[in-house]
Structure 1
Amino acid sequence: MINSTILLAVEEVAKEGGLFDINATLPIMAIQFLLLAFVLDKIFYKPLGNAIDSRADYIRDNQLKAEERLIKAKQLAAQYEQELAESRKKSQKVIAAAQAEAEKIATTKLAEAQQEAQAKREQAAQEIEREKEAALQQLDAQVDSLSRQILEKLLGPELVR
């Protein structure tokens, strides 16, 4: 009995025009759809689109600024490297000049020390020569004295004088 009532209802609907019955409902549904699309566009899609666009602009601006900063950083790095190279060259020149000056001073001091040592050697040689002369004179005197004593003993004291 229930099945027969459902069948009768389905047959009744089928007689009226089937699945697509063109009446006032279709234009009302189209107007509702357009109204919904308009409302969604004004309330949801445009603010969302604006937010997405502003975010894209923000990202693009930050990216451009970052690229500019990167270029500036590279320029500064190149400039600092160049200044560092110049500073190294200057310091090498200063070091070389200091080494040359130190060598000059060392050479001068060495020459002075050699001259002083030579002067002391000459002075010592002169002193040795004086002492040698004094020793030879003293030795000559002793030799003369000993020679006389030997002669006196051999020949007698009366004959030696």
Structure 2
Amino acid sequence: MTYWTILLAVETAAEEGGGLFDIDATLPLMAVQFLLLAAILNAIFYKPLTKAIDEREEYIRNNQKQARERLEKSQMLAAQYEQQLGESRRQSQAIIAQAEADAQKMAAEQIAQAQKQAQQEREKAQQEIEQQKQEAMRSLEQQVDTLSRQILEKLLGPELVK
């Protein structure tokens, strides 16, 4: 049924004329209007818009190029600073090692000197002790001699001991 309705509508439209696809003077006029509108839009809207887009694209491209150059430069500087830092660390470690060696050498010298001084003082003390011992022995010998004479004098008498 719907098929017959569509067929009937197409036949009536063909008989009346002025349908959807009627070609008369309005078609070229619409084409001219369209081309005129396209030219005006192109001059007023599309060209400035494409110019702004192109300028923005160029601006972005330049910024990216500058950013890449800055990144490369910063990476080179970072590598250079890392190298200098490594060299500085090596130098400081060498200085520290040298200072430690010097400190150990000085400590060893001071210890040796202190030991030598202690040895000298000990020897001096031993000599003093030996000297005092000898003096004490002499003094004891004298006392022993006097005591033994006194004992002999008391036992034998003073005349016989001389």
1:134 maps to what in 2?
A: 135
Deviates more, 1:15-24 or 1:44-53: 15-24
The amino acid that maps onto 2:83 is: Q
Task: Show CA shifts across 1:40-91 (max 9, x none).
Answer: 0111111111111111111111111111111111111111111111001100
2:90 maps to what in 1?
A: 89
Q: CA deviation at 1:18?
A: 2.6
Deviation beyond 3 Å, 4+ runs, structure 1: none
2:45 maps to what in 1?
A: 44
The amino acid that maps onto 2:43 is: K
1:156 maps to what in 2?
A: 157
5 Å matches for 1:65-80? 65-80=66-81
Q: CA deviation at 1:24?
A: 1.6
TM-score (norm 2): 0.87
Q: CA deviation at 1:19?
A: 2.5
Q: CA deviation at 1:15?
A: 2.7
1:143 maps to what in 2?
A: 144
Q: Aligned pair 1:34/2:38, yes or no?
A: no
RMSD between superposed Cα atoms in Å: 1.7
In structure 2, distance between residues paired with 1:15 and 1:122: 149
Task: Show CA shifts across 1:114-152 (max 9, x none).
Answer: 111111111111111111111111011000011111111
Aligned residues: 151
Q: CA deviation at 1:16?
A: 4.1
2:26 maps to what in 1?
A: 25
1:61 maps to what in 2?
A: 62
Q: CA deviation at 1:17?
A: 3.6
